[in-house]
Amino acid sequence: MLRALLFAVLLASPAAFAGKSKKPPKEKHDALGFIKLNGVRTEVRWTDGDSFKINEGDRKGMGTRLVGYNTLEAYGPVHQWGEWTAMELFTLARASSKVAAAQEWSCTSDGKVDGYKRLLVKCEQLAAEMARSGHALAYAVDGEKPDPEVVAAQAEAMKEKRGIWAKGSTFGVITSLHSVGEDGNEDPQAYNRVVDTRTGQALKRKHQDRYQSCQNVCLETDGQQSCMVYVPFRHRYRGKPDCLKSSE
């Protein structure tokens, strides 16, 4: 009986399996490139426009955060301002890694890491060029001083309506959202971070709001608004909610 069943399966028409087509591969926005880190040419994998993972050497596999600028989040369609749709800005965000990887940049690091154990790296020329092309924001946090060259490059991009400024600009762009009670945190106060596009200073805005996953949060800076979709960190890359899955 088993032999007859196997024979029948082998003779089955290929059309019987036509409905089980493979899913198309997900689009990746990573990009391979090279930098000179403290003078040593190093292969890196750009995960977005302002961070990469080191592919070789003593720090192989280590993540980084580039200081002085910030690109839009590339884990989903979350940003919105002006006449942009979230999906349009997400398309630009995904492209920023390839823009960064298109050239070989000279970068430095003193070995310090941030709160996420990412190596802090400075690539001054890259920061200015990303801002000038409209793919990045001048960005300084927690006592850092904005780089005047990056701020000027961003002002040029905004005036010429390049990249993320092509359909409107705003005085403040939300770069991170945190909900009260996020990840079990019992602190009754949380903060959001908004970068002032006129100065490059990214300041914390404390609040007592509790957000729902996929909630669209809008904040004003001197009468101008920007929005960002809140998604808890643990769900941005795994177990994505529907508001992020629609982009894949």
Q: Report residue 11 CA to chain centroid gap.
A: 50
Report the DSSP beta bridge partners of residue 198.
none
From the CB of residue 68, how many other CB atoms can be counted at a distance below 10 Å? 26
Q: For residues 190-194, give the mean pLDDT.
A: 98
Q: What's the pTM?
A: 0.85
Q: Which residue has the higher pLDDT, 223 or 238?
A: 223
Domains of the chain, with CATH numbers? 28-245 (2.40.50.90)
Please state, in angstroms and rounded to a whole number, the distance separating the CA atoms of residues 58 and 196: 37
DSSP of the chain = -HHHHHHHHHHS-GGGGTT-PPPPPPP---EEEEEEETTEEEEEEEEETTEEEE-SSTTTT-BEEETEEE----SSS-EE-TT--HHHHHHHHHHHHHHHHTS-EEEB--S-B-TTSPEEEB-HHHHHHHHHTTS-EEEB-TTPPPPHHHHHHHHHHHHHT-GGGTT---SEEEEE---TTGGG---S-EEEEEEETTT-BEEEEEE---PPTTEEEEEEETTEEEEEEE--GGGSSSS--HHHHTT-
Q: What is the per-residue pLDDT for 28?
A: 63
Q: How confident is the model at residue 22 (pLDDT cuts 50, 70, 90)?
A: very low
Q: How confident is the model at residue 124 (pLDDT cuts 50, 70, 90)?
A: very high
Q: How confident is the model at residue 16 (pLDDT cuts 50, 70, 90)?
A: very low
Asked if the model's pLDDT at residue 26 lies above 50, the reply is: no
> Which of 16-20, 132-136, 159-163 is predicted least confidently?
16-20
Asked if the model's pLDDT at residue 134 lies above 50, the reply is: yes
From the CB of residue 218, how many other CB atoms can be counted at a distance below 10 Å? 11
Q: What is the per-residue pLDDT for 185?
A: 86
Yes or no: say if 30 and 47 are a contact pair by the CB < 8 Å rule: yes
Report the DSSP beta bridge partners of residue 144.
none
Instruction: Extract the tokens encoding 52.
Output: 């990469």
| Complete edge-to-edge strand list for the sheet that includes strand 31-37 | 51-54, 40-48, 31-37, 105-107
Q: What is the per-residue pLDDT for 24?
A: 37
